[in-house]
Amino acid sequence: MLGTNRLILANIWVSVLSFGVAASMALMQAISRANLEVPYRSTRMYYMSVTAHGVLMALVFTTFFIMGLGYVVAQRENAAIKWPRLQWFCFGLAVLGTGLAAWAILTFRASVLYTFYPPLQAHPAFYIGLTLVVLGSWGWAASMIASWREARRRRPGMSVSLPMHATAANAMLWLLATTGVAAEMLFQLIPWSLGLLPRIDPLLARTLFWFFGHPLVYFWIIPAYVIWYAVAPREAGGKLFSEPLGRMVFTLFLVFSTPVGFHHQFQDPGIPSGWKLFHTLNTMAVSFPSLVTAFTVVASLEIAGRLRGGQGLFGWLRKLPWGNPTVSSVLLAGLLFLLGGFGGAVNAAYTLNSVVHNTAWVAAHFHLTVGSAAALTFMGACYWLVPKVSGRELELGLLAKVQPYLWFAGMALFSFTGHIAGLMGLPRRVFATNYGGAEQAQMWEGLTTVSALGGLLLHVSAAFFVLVTVATMLAGKRRTSAPIEWAEPLGRPEGGFRQTIWDRLGLWFIVAVILVLIAYAVPLSDILGMERYGSQGFRPY
Ligand code: HAS
Ligand code: CU
């Protein structure tokens, strides 16, 4: 097996196993939603399991999959990845970090949820572990940018492939975004958890966190879009409707993803509302590339349906290969994301945010976005990718076929009810959604029970996914490994597309940095200039 394929598979292994642990942790949350009285159900267990679920899903499963996919893209582009030894070292670092953080969480030393807001305090191993994961991912990002540069050198004046462009944009976005969380870790959380700093400023920490936390969501969605643009249309038998539009989309993500963090802090004091408005406007700007994506990807799928003989306004929909799990994952992920994106626009409006902030609505929103648009796409991508890089046939194909539909049904039950209960005022992250039988809580009890039922379907779906990928990697029938091919764009000139302004990622990176400075310099210096008292650490569970 090629060395790079081994590295890709190693990343997928960590990703899939973390996903498995994270999914089983959610059982506690489902039980809590249904308010079932079972032994082992306690606040301590609940907050540990929410933390494990959030950290392993949102930060570990995604990051390792994304790194694996990045190597696939770079290898396809240049026949080799940059600095393979360094990449193995970074992989080791990230695995070590994951191990440290997981140890701290699973031994009840870090029940601080995946946002790790102080003054909740975790064991230093948690913060140090996550910092190592970020350090490892920096090595990956550097390798992606170097691959992109090499591809440009090899064919001067010509565009690199769309997936390479997207991956390089994502790597740059990641380097910019993670400076925020690195600063929070190094100057605040780590010294404070070690006892070197007696107090911590929660507002500063939250601001640095969301400087990172919002671009993080685009770090997740960009690789999913790579699958939507470059894999799904081909798997469905069609063509990419417009590659130039795709190129613009990924560049715009690089520019607008970071200067928006205050849309998570609308309700925080200490940040002037004018700056919050500026972040809202940027949030509108960063939604635009997703609207373009909805158009381009659906148009590409329509081409596929028509090439397969679909007629009329909607006839092409029925002709799509709904039984191909990679394609159905993308279709279903996209359907869920339509609603998730709509919810995002609600979140981003200052006044509406005051209704939904910190309610079950938000958890419902992000299960449609990261939990569906990204996660379901990644699962579907594994069914396409793992056989190709492992040189083995997909095992348990029937489970793979049903898995996306189970996810869709589970997520629909979970999220639709979550949105409604959130509007009624059900807070997020509560141990007992019935508040011990309180009267007000009775109005959403039916909804939380349905949402727990959705959780059950999600568990079955998650188990199917883990079974299929693990069985394929371990026991799939050997075959010759197949090459990776991207969807053919409509209207590609002989020899490929020439570079345009959207290809100049270095330039756009500078624009992104300037926007970030405008969005953050004044409010951050205000925060630092205020009289600050800070808080001691709390470990309630
Ligand atoms: Fe969000 C909170 C605003 C997108 C993730 N978001 C969160 C949190 C997470 C998250 C994890 O403004 C919770 C953080 C926490 O723990 O506190 N979000 C937005 C907006 C967008 C958005 C405006 N979010 C995402 C994406 C995420 C994600 C993407 C992860 C991957 N979000 C917010 C705000 C908050 C927030 C506030 C704070 C709330 C609070 O108060 O705490 C937009 O980017 C969305 C644009 C998307 C669209 C949809 C386009 C539709 C497409 C589908 C095409 C269909 C296809 C299918 C392909 C406009 C592209 C075709 C099928 C056929 C059958 C034909
Ligand atoms: Cu955000």
10-residue mean pLDDT series, the chain (541 residues): 86 98 90 82 93 97 98 96 97 98 98 97 98 98 98 96 98 98 98 97 97 97 98 97 97 97 96 95 96 97 96 95 98 98 96 96 97 98 96 96 98 96 94 86 92 95 98 93 91 92 98 97 94 92 83
Is there a catalytic annotation at residue 165?
Answer: no
59 lines ligand 1 (CB under 6 A): no
**Under 8 Å between Cβ of 339 and 369:** no
**Ligand showing the shortest atom-to-Cα distance for residue 287:** 1
512 CA → ligand 1 middle, Å: 20
**Under 8 Å between Cβ of 373 and 333:** yes
Name the one residue in this structure whose structure tokens are 């990845």.
81
For the chain, the straight-line distance linking the first and the last C-alpha, in angstroms and rounded, comes to 47
32 CA → ligand 1 middle, Å: 26
Q: Structure tokens of 409?
A: 């049904």
- Burial of 305-315, coded b for 16+ CB within 10 Å and e otherwise, reads bbeeebeeeee
Ramachandran angles phi, psi of 538, nearest 5°: -125, 140
**Helical (H) or strand (E) element with 114:** none
**Ligand showing the shortest atom-to-Cα distance for residue 348:** 1
Cα distances (Å, whole numbers) of residue 526 to 83, 201, 275, 520: 42, 13, 11, 10
Cα distances (Å, whole numbers) of residue 348 to 145, 233, 360, 467: 31, 31, 16, 38
pLDDT at res. 495: 87
Ramachandran angles phi, psi of 3, nearest 5°: -55, -45
Protein residue closest via CA to atom 1 of ligand 1: 344
pLDDT at res. 462: 98
Is there a catalytic annotation at residue 229?
Answer: no
Distance of alpha carbon 538 from alpha carbon 420, whole angstroms: 32
Q: Provide the 8-state DSSP code for 443.
A: G
Distance of alpha carbon 134 from alpha carbon 181, whole angstroms: 9
pLDDT at res. 1: 46
217 CA → ligand 1 middle, Å: 8
Is there a catalytic annotation at residue 214?
Answer: yes
